[in-house]
Amino acid sequence: MRLLIKNGRVIDPSSKTDDTLDLLIEKGKIVDIKAKIETKGAKVIDASNLVVTPGFIDMHTHLREPGQEDKETIATGALAAAKGGFTSIACMPNTDPVNDNRGVTEYILSEAKKNALVNIFPIASITKDQAGKELIDMADLADAGAIAFSDDGFPVEDSQVMRRALEYSRILNTPIIDHCEDKKLSNEGVMHEGYYSYFFGLKGIPASSEETMVARDIILAKKADVPIHIAHLSVKGAVNIIKEAKKKNVKVTTEVTPHHLFLTDSHLENYDTNLKVNPPLRSKEDAQALIKAVKEGVVDVFATDHAPHTLDEKDVEFDKAPFGINGLETAVSLFLDKLVTKNVISLQKFIGMISTAPALILGLENKGKICVGADADITILNLHKEIVVDVNTFKSKSKNNPFQGWKLRGIPAMTIVGGKIVYSSASLENFK
Ligand SMILES: [Zn+2]
C-alpha cells in the first residue's frame, strides 16, 4: 500500500529538518519527501497542524510473555506501545523463563511477527537466569536476534562477570544496558532513603546504591573501551558521575523515565503501590537534577520502563507490592506537557531523545530518522489536544499507573509501522 502524509510539520533531528513537507511511503519505506507530492492511488493522510516525526522507540519495556501473560502479552504490550506513539520497543529479559537462551529469543520474535503491531526487539540477559554468576552465550543470542544485553531488575554484582560481559559486547557490537544497583546497599528497601522514608516509616534505598554501581561500570566500560548504557537514571550523584565521564569521552549513554522526572518520594504519602518502582522515586532535588541533565544533554534517551502488574498484585501493603509502573500509554503526553509545552526543552530535542538517540544506541540503522530509504515508522503528534489520563482506556492488560486523572496537553495522534497505520486517535479526524 502507498501512503501519502500531506501538509505535516516534519521534524527529523538526524537531518535537522523542521519544515512543512509531504511524505510518500511505499512497500514499508519512505520513498519521497518534498514540499508538494502529487500522486495517484495512495491513501492520503492530512497532517495539517500536526507534527510528523520518526517513529518513537522505547528501549526499556517489560513485556511479560513468556510466563506472566496475566500481566501483559507481546500482543497487548505492542498494542499499548502503538497507542502510546511507539513504533518499536525493546523488551527486557526478565520473563519466565528468562531470555537467556536462543529458544526464548526466537519465541519472542516469532510471537511478535504473528501478533505484534509494532517492532519488538528482544534484549537477552547478561547472565544465566539473571543470577549474576555465569555469562550466557552472548554470541549465540546476538545471532538469534537479541539487540542488547541486560540483567535489568538485577545488577551484575560480580565485577569480573561485568568486565567480561563488556568485553564480549565490544566484540559483538551489541550494547549492555545496565541496571545499576548495589543490592546490599538497597537492603530490601522499598522507597528512596531520606526524610520521607523516615516520615512514612518505610525502609529506604539510598542514593549510593545507584551511584556506586554507575561509577564501577563506567570505570569498567572505560577500561574495556566499549559503550555502556545506564538504565533509568534516578539520582543527582549518578548524573554528576555520568557528566564527568562524558567530559572524558567515556562512551556512556543514559536514559530517564517520566516518573523519575515528574514524581518524587513525597508523593508516597498515601502509600499508593502504583508509585512503588525500582529505582524508587527520589527526592525533589534529584528530580530537578534529572531535568537539568536532560536540558544539558547529559541524558540521551527518554524511556518508559513499562512494567505491568495486575491489580491484585498491587492491591497489597506497600512493603509487599512488586516494583513497577505501567508507562507506555502515558509517557509521550507527559513529556510533551511537562517538558515541551512548558518550554523546558524544545520539541526537536524531545523527538531526538525518543527516536534518533535510541535508534543509534541500539544500532537500528534504518530507524529513528525520516529520509528516503528509511523504514516507514512514523509517529504523528497532536500538540494541542488535551487528555485526562484514564487507566480504564489502556490497551495494556495492566493498569498500574500513578498518573490517573492527570490533565495533559499533547498526544500521539497516529502511529505508522512499516508503512501501515497501526493506531489512530479520534483526535486526528476531529482536529481537521
Ligand atoms: Zn531496571
Question: Residue type for 258, please?
Answer: P
- Angle among Cα 273, 278, 284 to the nearest 5 degrees reads 85
pLDDT at 69: 96
Per the CB < 8 A criterion, the answer to whether 124 and 100 are in contact is yes
Q: Which of 35, 17, 5 is nearest to 428 (CA)?
A: 5
Please name the residues in contact with 320: beta carbons below 8 A apart, sequence gap of 6 or more. none
**Torsion angle of alpha carbons 420, 426, 430, 432, nearest 10°?**
-10
pLDDT at 431: 43
- Angle among Cα 109, 150, 286 to the nearest 5 degrees reads 125
Half-sphere exposure in the Cβ direction for 247 (13 Å, CA):
7
pLDDT at 428: 53
- End-to-end alpha carbon distance in the chain: 23
Cα 125 to averaged position of ligand 1 atoms, centre (Å)? 12
**pLDDT of 172 strictly over 60:** yes
* CB neighbourhood size of 343 (10 A): 8
Cα 180 to averaged position of ligand 1 atoms, centre (Å)? 8
pLDDT at 123: 98
> How far, CA to CA in Å, does 427 sit from each of 13, 15, 86, 328?
25, 29, 17, 19
All 3 cell numbers of residue 124? 537477552
pLDDT at 149: 98
Check: pTM over 0.95? Answer yes or no. Answer: yes
Handedness of CA 119, 123, 124, 125 (dihedral sign): negative
Per the CB < 8 A criterion, the answer to whether 411 and 333 are in contact is yes
Q: Is 211 left (phi over 0), alpha (psi -120 to 50) or beta?
A: alpha
Mean pLDDT of the chain: 97
Cα 179 to averaged position of ligand 1 atoms, centre (Å)? 5
For the segment 313-353, what is each residue's pLDDT rounded down to a tens digit?
999 999 999 999 999 999 999 999 999 999 999 999 999 99
Cα 17 to averaged position of ligand 1 atoms, centre (Å)? 34
**Would you name the residues annotated as active-site residues?**
305
Q: Which residues surround ligand 1, an ion (CB under 5 A)?
A: 152, 179
Cα 61 to averaged position of ligand 1 atoms, centre (Å)? 10
pLDDT at 427: 55
Q: Read off φ and ψ for residue 207, nearest 5 degrees.
A: -60, -30
Per the CB < 8 A criterion, the answer to whether 374 and 30 are in contact is yes
Q: Which of 61, 66, 176 is nearest to 110 (CA)?
A: 66
Per the CB < 8 A criterion, the answer to whether 53 and 11 are in contact is yes
pLDDT average, residue stretch 203-231? 98
Helices (H) and strands (E) counted in the chain, each on its own, are 15, 18
CA atoms of 307 and 399, how far apart (whole Å): 10
For the segment 11-25, what is each residue's pLDDT rounded down to a tens digit?
999 999 999 999 999
- Angle among Cα 401, 183, 325 to the nearest 5 degrees reads 5
**Which of the four pLDDT bands, split at 50, 70 and 90, describes residue 1?**
confident
CA atoms of 133 and 162, how far apart (whole Å): 10
- Angle among Cα 386, 390, 394 to the nearest 5 degrees reads 110
Cα 161 to averaged position of ligand 1 atoms, centre (Å)? 18
Using DSSP bridges, classify how beta strands 407-417 and 378-388 pair: parallel, antiparallel or unpaired. Answer: antiparallel
Instruction: Enumerate the H helices of 236-352 as residue ranges.
Output: 236-247, 258-262, 284-296, 311-314, 331-335, 347-351
pLDDT at 195: 97
**Which of the four pLDDT bands, split at 50, 70 and 90, describes residue 253?**
very high
pLDDT average, residue stretch 265-275? 96
Per the CB < 8 A criterion, the answer to whether 418 and 5 are in contact is no
All 3 cell numbers of residue 128? 544465566
Q: Omega before 280 cis (within 30°)?
A: no
* CB neighbourhood size of 252 (10 A): 23
149 secondary structure, DSSP code: E
Cα 231 to averaged position of ligand 1 atoms, centre (Å)? 6
**pLDDT of 101 strictly over 70:** yes
Cα 186 to averaged position of ligand 1 atoms, centre (Å)? 13
Cα 279 to averaged position of ligand 1 atoms, centre (Å)? 7
**pLDDT of 184 strictly over 60:** yes
* Domains of the chain, earliest start first: 2-52+374-431 (2.30.40.10), 56-362 (3.20.20.140)
Q: Read off φ and ψ for residue 205, nearest 5 degrees.
A: -105, 115
Q: Cα–chain-centroid distance for residue 328?
A: 8
CA atoms of 398 and 175, how far apart (whole Å): 29
For the segment 132-168, what is each residue's pLDDT rounded down to a tens digit?
999 999 999 999 999 999 999 999 999 999 999 999 9
pLDDT at 176: 98
pLDDT at 432: 39
